[in-house]
Amino acid sequence: MELIFLGTSSAIPSKQRNHPAIALKAFGEVILFDCGEGTQRQLAIAKISPMKINKIFISHLHGDHVLGLPGLIQSMDFRDRKIPLDIYGPPGLFQLKSAILRLGYCSLDFDIRIHELTGNFCSTLDDFANSVNGKMSNTKNSNNNCNINNSNNNNNNINSNANSNNNNFDNCIINNGNTNNISSINNNINNNENAGNLIINNDKYSIQFIKTDHGVCNLSYSFVEKKKPRFLRDKAIKLGVKPGPDFGKLHNGSEVKIGDRVVMPNDVLGEDRSGVKIVYSGDTRPNQGLISLAKDADLLIHESTYCEDDKNKAIENNHSTSSEAALIAKCANAKNLVLTHISTRYNNTEDILKEACELFKNTKVAYDFMVLNI
Protein backbone atom coordinates (compact mmCIF):
# COMPACT_ATOMS: atom_id res chain seq x y z
CA MET A 1 0.00 0.00 0.00
CA GLU A 2 1.06 3.54 -0.69
CA LEU A 3 -0.06 6.86 0.83
CA ILE A 4 0.42 10.06 -1.14
CA PHE A 5 -0.12 13.39 0.61
CA LEU A 6 -1.53 15.57 -2.16
CA GLY A 7 -2.28 18.61 0.00
CA THR A 8 -1.07 19.41 3.50
CA SER A 9 -2.07 23.03 4.15
CA SER A 10 -4.94 24.27 6.26
CA ALA A 11 -7.64 26.74 5.18
CA ILE A 12 -5.32 28.90 3.06
CA PRO A 13 -2.95 27.26 0.55
CA SER A 14 0.64 28.39 0.11
CA LYS A 15 3.25 28.06 -2.62
CA GLN A 16 4.46 24.88 -0.94
CA ARG A 17 1.22 23.40 0.38
CA ASN A 18 -2.10 22.77 -1.35
CA HIS A 19 -5.49 22.27 0.28
CA PRO A 20 -6.04 18.92 2.08
CA ALA A 21 -6.19 15.65 0.16
CA ILE A 22 -4.64 12.23 0.73
CA ALA A 23 -4.61 9.35 -1.75
CA LEU A 24 -4.34 5.74 -0.59
CA LYS A 25 -3.34 3.16 -3.18
CA ALA A 26 -4.51 -0.25 -2.03
CA PHE A 27 -5.61 -3.45 -3.74
CA GLY A 28 -5.66 -1.94 -7.22
CA GLU A 29 -7.83 1.05 -6.33
CA VAL A 30 -7.26 4.61 -5.18
CA ILE A 31 -9.16 5.87 -2.14
CA LEU A 32 -9.22 9.63 -1.62
CA PHE A 33 -9.54 11.28 1.79
CA ASP A 34 -10.75 14.86 1.39
CA CYS A 35 -10.62 16.80 -1.84
CA GLY A 36 -9.50 20.38 -1.40
CA GLU A 37 -9.33 22.95 -4.17
CA GLY A 38 -6.70 22.01 -6.77
CA THR A 39 -6.67 18.30 -5.93
CA GLN A 40 -6.98 17.19 -9.55
CA ARG A 41 -3.82 19.13 -10.42
CA GLN A 42 -2.03 17.48 -7.51
CA LEU A 43 -3.21 14.10 -8.80
CA ALA A 44 -1.73 14.90 -12.21
CA ILE A 45 1.62 15.88 -10.70
CA ALA A 46 1.63 12.69 -8.61
CA LYS A 47 0.74 10.68 -11.74
CA ILE A 48 -2.43 9.27 -10.21
CA SER A 49 -5.29 8.74 -12.63
CA PRO A 50 -8.61 10.15 -11.38
CA MET A 51 -10.27 7.26 -13.16
CA LYS A 52 -8.87 4.86 -10.56
CA ILE A 53 -10.60 6.72 -7.74
CA ASN A 54 -13.77 4.84 -6.82
CA LYS A 55 -14.26 6.07 -3.25
CA ILE A 56 -13.87 9.52 -1.71
CA PHE A 57 -14.18 10.09 2.04
CA ILE A 58 -14.91 13.67 3.08
CA SER A 59 -14.15 14.66 6.67
CA HIS A 60 -16.33 17.78 6.73
CA LEU A 61 -17.84 20.36 4.42
CA HIS A 62 -15.50 23.31 4.92
CA GLY A 63 -14.32 24.61 1.56
CA ASP A 64 -10.68 23.66 1.96
CA HIS A 65 -11.74 20.01 2.16
CA VAL A 66 -14.39 19.79 -0.60
CA LEU A 67 -13.93 22.49 -3.24
CA GLY A 68 -11.81 20.19 -5.39
CA LEU A 69 -14.84 17.98 -6.03
CA PRO A 70 -16.49 20.01 -8.84
CA GLY A 71 -13.40 20.05 -11.05
CA LEU A 72 -12.51 16.44 -10.29
CA ILE A 73 -16.01 15.21 -11.12
CA GLN A 74 -16.10 17.21 -14.35
CA SER A 75 -12.70 15.88 -15.41
CA MET A 76 -13.86 12.32 -14.77
CA ASP A 77 -16.83 12.96 -17.05
CA PHE A 78 -14.63 14.48 -19.76
CA ARG A 79 -12.62 11.25 -19.70
CA ASP A 80 -15.77 9.21 -20.38
CA ARG A 81 -16.01 7.65 -16.96
CA LYS A 82 -18.77 5.05 -16.76
CA ILE A 83 -18.30 3.32 -13.41
CA PRO A 84 -19.99 4.83 -10.32
CA LEU A 85 -18.18 7.09 -7.87
CA ASP A 86 -19.00 6.64 -4.18
CA ILE A 87 -18.59 9.71 -1.97
CA TYR A 88 -18.92 9.36 1.80
CA GLY A 89 -19.22 12.21 4.26
CA PRO A 90 -21.36 14.16 6.72
CA PRO A 91 -24.97 15.28 6.22
CA GLY A 92 -25.14 18.03 3.62
CA LEU A 93 -23.04 16.09 1.13
CA PHE A 94 -26.06 15.36 -1.07
CA GLN A 95 -26.87 19.07 -1.22
CA LEU A 96 -23.29 19.76 -2.25
CA LYS A 97 -23.50 17.22 -5.06
CA SER A 98 -26.79 18.72 -6.24
CA ALA A 99 -25.28 22.21 -6.27
CA ILE A 100 -22.26 21.02 -8.24
CA LEU A 101 -24.44 19.44 -10.91
CA ARG A 102 -27.05 22.19 -10.99
CA LEU A 103 -24.79 25.23 -11.02
CA GLY A 104 -22.28 23.60 -13.34
CA TYR A 105 -25.00 22.54 -15.79
CA CYS A 106 -23.49 19.07 -15.68
CA SER A 107 -25.06 15.98 -17.19
CA LEU A 108 -22.87 13.08 -16.19
CA ASP A 109 -22.53 9.71 -17.88
CA PHE A 110 -21.67 8.03 -14.58
CA ASP A 111 -23.43 7.77 -11.25
CA ILE A 112 -22.33 9.63 -8.14
CA ARG A 113 -23.55 7.71 -5.12
CA ILE A 114 -23.70 9.87 -2.01
CA HIS A 115 -23.46 8.26 1.43
CA GLU A 116 -24.33 10.69 4.23
CA LEU A 117 -22.94 9.25 7.44
CA THR A 118 -24.59 9.62 10.82
CA GLY A 119 -23.54 8.17 14.13
CA ASN A 120 -22.31 8.95 17.60
CA PHE A 121 -20.60 12.10 18.73
CA CYS A 122 -17.64 11.54 21.02
CA SER A 123 -17.05 13.91 23.88
CA THR A 124 -14.54 16.69 23.36
CA LEU A 125 -11.68 17.21 25.75
CA ASP A 126 -11.47 21.00 25.68
CA ASP A 127 -9.12 20.99 28.65
CA PHE A 128 -7.06 18.22 27.08
CA ALA A 129 -3.78 20.10 27.36
CA ASN A 130 -4.60 22.31 30.33
CA SER A 131 -4.32 19.33 32.61
CA VAL A 132 -0.53 19.50 32.57
CA ASN A 133 -0.72 22.89 34.31
CA GLY A 134 0.78 24.79 31.41
CA LYS A 135 2.00 24.32 27.91
CA MET A 136 2.13 20.74 26.79
CA SER A 137 5.49 21.41 25.18
CA ASN A 138 6.81 21.81 28.74
CA THR A 139 5.57 18.37 29.77
CA LYS A 140 9.05 17.02 29.26
CA ASN A 141 10.28 19.17 32.14
CA SER A 142 7.23 18.75 34.33
CA ASN A 143 6.52 16.29 37.09
CA ASN A 144 2.80 16.84 36.76
CA ASN A 145 0.65 14.06 35.40
CA CYS A 146 -1.55 14.60 32.39
CA ASN A 147 -5.01 13.41 33.37
CA ILE A 148 -7.47 13.25 30.51
CA ASN A 149 -11.04 13.33 31.72
CA ASN A 150 -14.47 13.36 30.16
CA SER A 151 -16.13 16.59 29.27
CA ASN A 152 -19.84 16.74 29.91
CA ASN A 153 -20.90 16.71 26.29
CA ASN A 154 -24.50 15.61 25.96
CA ASN A 155 -24.73 15.24 22.20
CA ASN A 156 -27.36 12.73 21.18
CA ASN A 157 -26.58 9.67 19.10
CA ILE A 158 -28.15 9.53 15.67
CA ASN A 159 -28.69 6.09 14.13
CA SER A 160 -25.68 4.87 16.03
CA ASN A 161 -24.76 1.32 16.95
CA ALA A 162 -21.31 2.22 18.24
CA ASN A 163 -20.26 2.69 21.83
CA SER A 164 -18.66 6.10 22.25
CA ASN A 165 -17.10 5.10 25.58
CA ASN A 166 -17.63 8.66 26.80
CA ASN A 167 -18.19 7.59 30.39
CA ASN A 168 -15.52 4.88 30.55
CA PHE A 169 -12.19 6.63 30.23
CA ASP A 170 -9.44 6.11 32.77
CA ASN A 171 -6.74 8.70 33.31
CA CYS A 172 -3.98 8.72 30.74
CA ILE A 173 -0.84 9.61 32.64
CA ILE A 174 2.33 10.98 31.09
CA ASN A 175 5.37 11.53 33.28
CA ASN A 176 8.33 13.57 32.04
CA GLY A 177 7.33 13.11 28.43
CA ASN A 178 7.83 9.33 28.57
CA THR A 179 5.43 6.66 27.43
CA ASN A 180 6.33 4.04 30.03
CA ASN A 181 3.87 5.34 32.61
CA ILE A 182 0.70 5.77 30.59
CA SER A 183 -2.12 4.17 32.49
CA SER A 184 -4.23 1.85 30.38
CA ILE A 185 -7.29 3.27 28.77
CA ASN A 186 -10.03 1.19 30.32
CA ASN A 187 -10.84 -2.30 29.14
CA ASN A 188 -13.88 -1.22 27.17
CA ILE A 189 -11.68 0.88 24.93
CA ASN A 190 -8.74 -1.51 24.88
CA ASN A 191 -10.92 -4.43 23.85
CA ASN A 192 -13.15 -2.53 21.46
CA GLU A 193 -12.09 -3.54 17.95
CA ASN A 194 -15.17 -1.85 16.52
CA ALA A 195 -14.63 1.61 17.95
CA GLY A 196 -16.45 3.33 15.11
CA ASN A 197 -19.40 3.00 12.80
CA LEU A 198 -18.71 0.42 10.10
CA ILE A 199 -19.08 1.73 6.54
CA ILE A 200 -17.26 -0.80 4.36
CA ASN A 201 -16.38 -4.39 5.13
CA ASN A 202 -15.08 -6.49 2.26
CA ASP A 203 -12.57 -9.31 1.97
CA LYS A 204 -9.66 -6.87 1.70
CA TYR A 205 -10.33 -4.13 4.24
CA SER A 206 -12.84 -2.36 6.45
CA ILE A 207 -13.49 1.35 6.95
CA GLN A 208 -15.10 2.90 10.02
CA PHE A 209 -15.85 6.43 11.13
CA ILE A 210 -16.64 8.45 14.21
CA LYS A 211 -17.86 12.00 14.61
CA THR A 212 -15.47 14.40 16.27
CA ASP A 213 -15.57 18.06 17.25
CA HIS A 214 -14.76 20.82 14.79
CA GLY A 215 -17.70 23.11 15.42
CA VAL A 216 -19.31 21.52 12.37
CA CYS A 217 -19.71 17.78 11.89
CA ASN A 218 -16.27 16.29 11.25
CA LEU A 219 -15.73 12.61 10.55
CA SER A 220 -12.54 10.74 11.41
CA TYR A 221 -11.90 7.54 9.47
CA SER A 222 -10.03 4.28 10.03
CA PHE A 223 -8.84 1.97 7.26
CA VAL A 224 -8.01 -1.54 8.46
CA GLU A 225 -6.53 -4.20 6.22
CA LYS A 226 -7.91 -7.67 6.88
CA LYS A 227 -5.71 -10.23 8.57
CA LYS A 228 -3.68 -12.29 6.14
CA PRO A 229 -1.25 -15.21 6.47
CA ARG A 230 2.45 -14.57 6.70
CA PHE A 231 4.34 -15.45 3.55
CA LEU A 232 7.22 -17.83 4.32
CA ARG A 233 9.73 -16.50 1.81
CA ASP A 234 12.62 -18.83 2.67
CA LYS A 235 10.40 -21.89 2.45
CA ALA A 236 9.05 -20.77 -0.92
CA ILE A 237 12.57 -20.36 -2.30
CA LYS A 238 13.54 -23.82 -1.03
CA LEU A 239 10.55 -25.21 -2.93
CA GLY A 240 11.88 -23.62 -6.12
CA VAL A 241 9.64 -20.56 -6.26
CA LYS A 242 11.49 -17.54 -7.60
CA PRO A 243 10.84 -14.09 -6.10
CA GLY A 244 8.45 -12.13 -8.26
CA PRO A 245 4.89 -12.62 -9.52
CA ASP A 246 4.71 -16.21 -8.26
CA PHE A 247 5.20 -14.97 -4.70
CA GLY A 248 2.16 -12.76 -5.12
CA LYS A 249 0.07 -15.57 -6.59
CA LEU A 250 0.81 -17.85 -3.65
CA HIS A 251 0.23 -15.09 -1.11
CA ASN A 252 -3.15 -14.40 -2.72
CA GLY A 253 -4.19 -18.04 -2.54
CA SER A 254 -3.34 -19.36 -6.01
CA GLU A 255 -1.20 -22.40 -6.74
CA VAL A 256 2.02 -22.14 -8.75
CA LYS A 257 3.49 -24.76 -11.07
CA ILE A 258 7.26 -25.28 -10.79
CA GLY A 259 8.44 -27.73 -13.42
CA ASP A 260 6.44 -30.91 -12.90
CA ARG A 261 5.47 -29.95 -9.35
CA VAL A 262 2.70 -27.77 -7.99
CA VAL A 263 3.32 -25.54 -4.98
CA MET A 264 0.16 -24.88 -3.00
CA PRO A 265 -0.48 -21.73 -0.95
CA ASN A 266 -0.62 -23.77 2.26
CA ASP A 267 2.95 -24.90 1.58
CA VAL A 268 4.32 -21.39 2.00
CA LEU A 269 1.82 -19.56 4.19
CA GLY A 270 2.10 -19.29 7.96
CA GLU A 271 -0.12 -17.94 10.71
CA ASP A 272 -2.31 -14.91 10.14
CA ARG A 273 -0.85 -11.50 10.90
CA SER A 274 -2.73 -8.30 11.53
CA GLY A 275 -3.24 -6.02 8.58
CA VAL A 276 -2.23 -2.38 8.38
CA LYS A 277 -4.37 0.16 10.25
CA ILE A 278 -4.46 3.81 9.15
CA VAL A 279 -6.50 6.53 10.87
CA TYR A 280 -7.22 10.01 9.51
CA SER A 281 -8.50 12.65 11.91
CA GLY A 282 -9.79 15.35 9.59
CA ASP A 283 -10.15 18.63 11.53
CA THR A 284 -10.89 18.23 15.22
CA ARG A 285 -10.24 19.13 18.81
CA PRO A 286 -8.69 16.26 20.78
CA ASN A 287 -11.27 13.71 21.88
CA GLN A 288 -11.30 10.28 23.43
CA GLY A 289 -13.33 8.77 20.60
CA LEU A 290 -10.41 9.37 18.26
CA ILE A 291 -8.07 7.70 20.75
CA SER A 292 -10.33 4.66 20.67
CA LEU A 293 -10.57 4.66 16.87
CA ALA A 294 -6.79 5.00 16.55
CA LYS A 295 -5.97 2.29 19.10
CA ASP A 296 -2.81 0.41 18.01
CA ALA A 297 -2.86 2.09 14.60
CA ASP A 298 0.18 1.62 12.41
CA LEU A 299 -0.27 5.22 11.29
CA LEU A 300 -2.28 8.10 12.71
CA ILE A 301 -2.64 11.08 10.38
CA HIS A 302 -3.67 13.95 12.62
CA GLU A 303 -4.25 17.61 11.95
CA SER A 304 -1.75 19.99 13.53
CA THR A 305 -2.95 23.44 12.57
CA TYR A 306 -1.24 25.26 15.43
CA CYS A 307 1.83 25.18 17.64
CA GLU A 308 1.30 25.06 21.38
CA ASP A 309 1.98 28.80 21.70
CA ASP A 310 -1.20 29.35 19.67
CA LYS A 311 -3.29 26.91 21.63
CA ASN A 312 -5.96 29.51 22.36
CA LYS A 313 -6.50 29.88 18.63
CA ALA A 314 -6.73 26.10 18.32
CA ILE A 315 -9.48 26.03 20.94
CA GLU A 316 -11.27 29.03 19.41
CA ASN A 317 -11.22 27.52 15.91
CA ASN A 318 -11.78 23.89 16.95
CA HIS A 319 -8.40 22.61 15.80
CA SER A 320 -5.50 20.78 17.45
CA THR A 321 -1.94 21.70 18.31
CA SER A 322 1.06 19.56 17.46
CA SER A 323 1.42 18.54 21.12
CA GLU A 324 -2.24 17.55 21.33
CA ALA A 325 -1.91 15.40 18.22
CA ALA A 326 1.15 13.73 19.73
CA LEU A 327 -0.71 13.02 22.96
CA ILE A 328 -3.56 11.43 20.99
CA ALA A 329 -1.00 9.17 19.26
CA LYS A 330 0.62 8.30 22.59
CA CYS A 331 -2.63 7.47 24.33
CA ALA A 332 -3.82 5.42 21.35
CA ASN A 333 -0.56 3.43 21.33
CA ALA A 334 -0.13 4.27 17.65
CA LYS A 335 3.12 3.24 16.01
CA ASN A 336 3.62 6.33 13.85
CA LEU A 337 2.20 9.84 13.65
CA VAL A 338 2.06 12.14 10.63
CA LEU A 339 1.05 15.75 11.19
CA THR A 340 -0.82 17.60 8.45
CA HIS A 341 -3.16 20.59 7.91
CA ILE A 342 -0.32 23.02 8.65
CA SER A 343 -1.22 26.70 8.99
CA THR A 344 0.45 29.20 6.66
CA ARG A 345 1.35 31.29 9.72
CA TYR A 346 4.39 29.01 10.18
CA ASN A 347 7.28 29.54 7.77
CA ASN A 348 8.85 26.23 8.73
CA THR A 349 7.76 23.15 10.63
CA GLU A 350 10.72 22.76 12.99
CA ASP A 351 8.83 23.89 16.09
CA ILE A 352 5.80 21.81 15.14
CA LEU A 353 7.93 18.69 14.83
CA LYS A 354 9.95 19.44 17.98
CA GLU A 355 6.86 19.90 20.13
CA ALA A 356 5.30 16.68 18.89
CA CYS A 357 8.49 14.64 19.25
CA GLU A 358 8.81 15.62 22.91
CA LEU A 359 5.70 13.51 23.49
CA PHE A 360 5.80 11.06 20.58
CA LYS A 361 9.10 10.36 18.86
CA ASN A 362 7.85 8.55 15.76
CA THR A 363 6.45 11.72 14.22
CA LYS A 364 6.75 13.24 10.76
CA VAL A 365 5.34 16.47 9.37
CA ALA A 366 3.69 15.85 6.02
CA TYR A 367 4.55 17.86 2.92
CA ASP A 368 2.90 17.89 -0.48
CA PHE A 369 3.69 14.75 -2.51
CA MET A 370 5.22 12.94 0.45
CA VAL A 371 4.87 9.20 -0.20
CA LEU A 372 4.71 6.54 2.51
CA ASN A 373 4.99 2.87 1.62
CA ILE A 374 3.09 0.85 4.20
In-domain check, residue 263: yes
| Res 187: pLDDT | 34
Looking at the structure, do residues 303 and 210 belong to the same domain, yes or no? yes
Looking at the structure, do residues 266 and 291 belong to the same domain, yes or no? no
In-domain check, residue 127: no
pLDDT over threshold 90, residue 296: yes
The DSSP string of 123-185 is PB-TTTTGGGSS-GGGGGG-------------PPPSS--S---TT-------BTTBSTTPPPP
What average pLDDT does the chain have?
82
pLDDT over threshold 60, residue 186: no
Looking at the structure, do residues 259 and 282 belong to the same domain, yes or no? no
Looking at the structure, do residues 62 and 113 belong to the same domain, yes or no? yes
Looking at the structure, do residues 235 and 354 belong to the same domain, yes or no? no
Comparison of pLDDT for 174 and 330, the residue scoring more: 330
Of the pLDDT bands very low, low, confident and very high (cuts 50, 70, 90), residue 88 is very high
In-domain check, residue 198: yes
pLDDT over threshold 70, residue 119: no
Of the pLDDT bands very low, low, confident and very high (cuts 50, 70, 90), residue 255 is very high
Domain housing 101: 2-122+190-227+275-373
Looking at the structure, do residues 107 and 246 belong to the same domain, yes or no? no
Q: Give the total number of structural domains in the chain.
A: 2
pLDDT digits (tens, 9 = 90+) for 36-47: 999 999 999 999
Average pLDDT rounded to a whole number, residues 45-69? 97
Q: In Å, how far are 14, 75, 217, 280 from 8, measured between CA atoms?
A: 10, 22, 21, 13
Looking at the structure, do residues 208 and 337 belong to the same domain, yes or no? yes
H-helix segments, 269-318: 288-293, 311-316
In-domain check, residue 145: no
Looking at the structure, do residues 237 and 95 belong to the same domain, yes or no? no
pLDDT over threshold 60, residue 135: no
Of the pLDDT bands very low, low, confident and very high (cuts 50, 70, 90), residue 118 is confident
| Res 42: pLDDT | 98
Looking at the structure, do residues 252 and 348 belong to the same domain, yes or no? no
pLDDT digits (tens, 9 = 90+) for 218-244: 999 999 999 988 889 999 999 999 999
Contact of 197 with 293, CB cutoff 8 Å: no
Q: In Å, how far are 18, 84, 98, 280 from 76, measured between CA atoms?
A: 21, 11, 17, 25
How far, in Å, CA of 335 to CA of 289, rounded?
18
* Annotated binding-site ranges: 60, 62, 64-65, 214, 283, 341
How far, in Å, CA of 55 to CA of 323, rounded?
32
Looking at the structure, do residues 43 and 93 belong to the same domain, yes or no? yes
Looking at the structure, do residues 242 and 308 belong to the same domain, yes or no? no
In-domain check, residue 109: yes
Q: Which residues are catalytic?
A: 64
* Annotated binding-site ranges for Zn(2+): 60, 62, 64-65, 214, 283, 341
| Res 120: pLDDT | 55
Looking at the structure, do residues 345 and 252 belong to the same domain, yes or no? no
In-domain check, residue 25: yes
pLDDT over threshold 70, residue 6: yes
